[in-house]
Chain A
């Protein structure tokens, strides 16, 4: 589920910071988290086949309870249904789709098709077969004009006939074929173009789950999200089947007797919602084995949790990053294209770079993020080890360089503050979203840093903004006068093509659009990019180009981590293990140690 979920989140989600004086300096160009965490945990001893795994979903709100991946619009639902939800495709450690999962995928470049072949023994938890129609029906629900889904995207319109179906002109999707019939196990999807990104999970071109067609076919698609088949008694083909759900609070699972693979090592699984204020205490009291999902225990509670002797902290770099975006243009509402404005206050890249070099992100992350975060160096997060440019330095603190950049670009000081190159007063407005009070301190620290280089940067509205007001401001096609740059964060998919920075991307909120940028992003998925080395070069060039342009400055990356109880066997954060992780995981004793 995590692989296909996207959300734009506040930067504070990546780093929870406390009151900061932030005077310590760091000029490290190769940031790393202060905390080194294991990537897996394997308890000694043999698995107790009668044990129940107890997981916590840290969340201050009840989960919504939409078990259908097409219709769910939040990550929590995916977390609490994860023991039953299994992606159709297995991946390697780099999220490349490989054979061996519930279904295999074969791309045909000459025919522009993707063939999905389901396992012959793949069954739903009610005993019925998972069929070709189940795979196809997911696209019907996605594309139906009456569907509530937020997952329908332009990528899906690469499927032949999808646009016609979505507009209601066609009653079926002509580009999806079931050669062995609806009850068969094969689906062929015809695309306008097959792209290299399709080799990887999370690409958005095909849906990675199936819908139990026979089970839900009598429910109109517009009513599906609230139907009992989705809300009360959903069925899954993963290693566990839902035994009970208390909406908003908990899910409990037992082994799925029809599971295609080796039966679950645990007898049962329970997942309970735990408030962030109580999460640390809950682990101290040994109530849970680990947390599920990306929210997890707040970094501020890490010092307490790390002392727990019966737990080992396991983590991996987060699939996301915080960044600064500069309002360098606007969106032409008629064409839907982003256009650069030469007269934008932040159109000078030296100014943008100087703002980046003035930030002491290393010090902030190390000292106040409890070492769980680090400075991001490029717009491709380090979790993508095959595409992230390890040699990129990003914007390490360098006030001297920042001052020089501004001096050379003509931003001369008059009194305390610098002026524009043509001698006008320069006041920059910075928009940031409200999260915790500690995040406010972080923002104040950055303002202080920018003041040090003579830039009169003021917080939009004089304070951090409420989420809705923030996005209302930065998402407008024409940037408001009181926002020159902003801080936000992306949670990314496991396919790292940075489509959100394309010239026609509505969420390219700084409106950065250059030919070079468009070309490099296109190159990532052209025919040549089926060669991995070529593709890697394009990613590397794009990262270097974006850092040089500094229209978006990578700020920080966090860790997705959890304490894992010492009774748990086969806990792994590797993408290679994620497809059947719930089946392989087990416990060596009846209760958490």
Chain B
């Protein structure tokens, strides 16, 4: 298996190179540049020209691309035009914020979704299952940003239980206070994301459990007199988790993607907003770095999912 994994990793190299060229070209093909629109009565066109020249924006694309690659191998992703600081530092700061929120939300999502899905599948058409189904239909049909604004308004502003903006309090000074403040700030957005992000898990699990309940190996186990609890734990649960496991790789590498709506409503500086703003402002250095990062993460996510799946399901082998 490890040979295959290595081969897959090696295949990724040309994939990443092609991806980086495409990203570079597409970013340059967009109308405008990082200085578009930032003009005023005292702005000197000559100074803007000078800044563009200094940034190499007038060079042919292949020259710009080559420079970028050379810098990349020196661990330098360039300086953001918009933020005027190294791209690695900006992405680093935002990635930390995003990870705090995403890990919390993901853990909660699985912690809520898996028991709910299993319970609903096990108790198909009973009152509990009906309640869970109504819950998933409701959460699926309400747009996420509406939930966020509503949640912020009720729990943040009306009840005042949670902080309403940012990732940490402006007045938290000590290390401990900062950590606690960070936790406080991710509870509401994380909880809302989890409560309203469980639909897929619940629905997948529920249908898998229902399918598994009627399968031959379960019937065999039952006919052998295996207690219901054991049948559930040892036969149904493991098989039902396969679709969830298939996506686990993506979920882990997708943690860095950020959530645009959450970040916007809660003024939470994460990767989602960074990506959106970098596109709006034609912040080429940030766009290329982020797309490349996401591309690499996706490639690894696929691989990771395959590895996890093969670990969970002995029938699956990576050849």
List chain A positions with a Cβ less than 8 A from chain B. Answer: 5-8, 59-62, 64-66, 71, 73, 145-146, 148-155, 204, 225-226, 231, 243-244, 246-252, 270-275, 277-278, 281-282, 284-285, 287, 336, 466-469, 471-472, 475, 490-493, 497-500, 506-507
Is A249 in contact with B267, judged by CB distance below 8 angstroms?
yes
CA distance A146 to B30 in the complex (A): 27
CA distance A59 to B269 in the complex (A): 12
CA distance A425 to B208 in the complex (A): 67
* Closest B residue to A226 using CB positions: B85
**Cross-interface CB contact of B32 among A249, A284, A467, cutoff 8 Å:** A467
**A199 CB to nearest B CB, Å:** 17
Q: With an 8 A cutoff between CB atoms, is B43 at the interface? A: yes
Contacts of A277 in B (CB 8 A): 145, 149, 264-265
Contacts of A287 in B (CB 8 A): 157, 164
Q: Known contacts being A273-B166, A285-B157, is A278 close to B42, with CB within 8 Å?
A: no
Contacts of B170 in A (CB 8 A): 244, 246, 249-252, 270-272
Is A226 in contact with B282, judged by CB distance below 8 angstroms?
no
**B90 CB to nearest A CB, Å:** 9
Q: With an 8 A cutoff between CB atoms, is B280 at the interface? A: yes
Is B267 in contact with A273, judged by CB distance below 8 angstroms?
yes
CA distance A164 to B26 in the complex (A): 39
Is B41 in contact with A492, judged by CB distance below 8 angstroms?
yes
Is B85 in contact with A471, judged by CB distance below 8 angstroms?
no
Q: With an 8 A cutoff between CB atoms, is B228 at the interface? A: no
Is B273 in contact with A278, judged by CB distance below 8 angstroms?
no
Q: Which secondary structure characterizes the binding site on chain A?
A: loop
Is B42 in contact with A250, judged by CB distance below 8 angstroms?
no
**B57 CB to nearest A CB, Å:** 13
CA distance A272 to B165 in the complex (A): 8
Is B93 in contact with A150, judged by CB distance below 8 angstroms?
no
Q: Known contacts being A252-B171, A272-B165, is A467 close to B40, with CB within 8 Å?
A: no
* Closest B residue to A150 using CB positions: B38
CA distance A155 to B164 in the complex (A): 44
**Cross-interface CB contact of B173 among A244, A249, A493, cutoff 8 Å:** A244
Contacts of B58 in A (CB 8 A): none
Contacts of B280 in A (CB 8 A): 467-468
**4 interchain residue pairs of minimum CB distance:** A6-B40, A468-B32, A285-B157, A250-B170
CA distance A369 to B267 in the complex (A): 26
CA distance A490 to B169 in the complex (A): 35
CA distance A225 to B48 in the complex (A): 17
Is B171 in contact with A281, judged by CB distance below 8 angstroms?
no
**Cross-interface CB contact of B153 among A73, A252, A281, A471, cutoff 8 Å:** A281
Q: With an 8 A cutoff between CB atoms, is B39 at the interface? A: yes
Contacts of B264 in A (CB 8 A): 60, 275, 277
**B259 CB to nearest A CB, Å:** 14
| A-B CB contact pairs (8 Å), 7 listed | A62-B267, A73-B84, A225-B85, A250-B170, A278-B152, A492-B41, A497-B41
Is B269 in contact with A249, judged by CB distance below 8 angstroms?
yes
Q: With an 8 A cutoff between CB atoms, is B160 at the interface? A: yes
Is B273 in contact with A8, judged by CB distance below 8 angstroms?
no
**Cross-interface CB contact of B36 among A247, A281, A471, cutoff 8 Å:** A471
Is A61 in contact with B273, judged by CB distance below 8 angstroms?
yes
Is B166 in contact with A275, judged by CB distance below 8 angstroms?
no
Is B40 in contact with A8, judged by CB distance below 8 angstroms?
yes
Is A153 in contact with B31, judged by CB distance below 8 angstroms?
no
Residues of chain B in range 250-273 having any CB-CB distance to chain A below 8 Å: 264-267, 269, 273
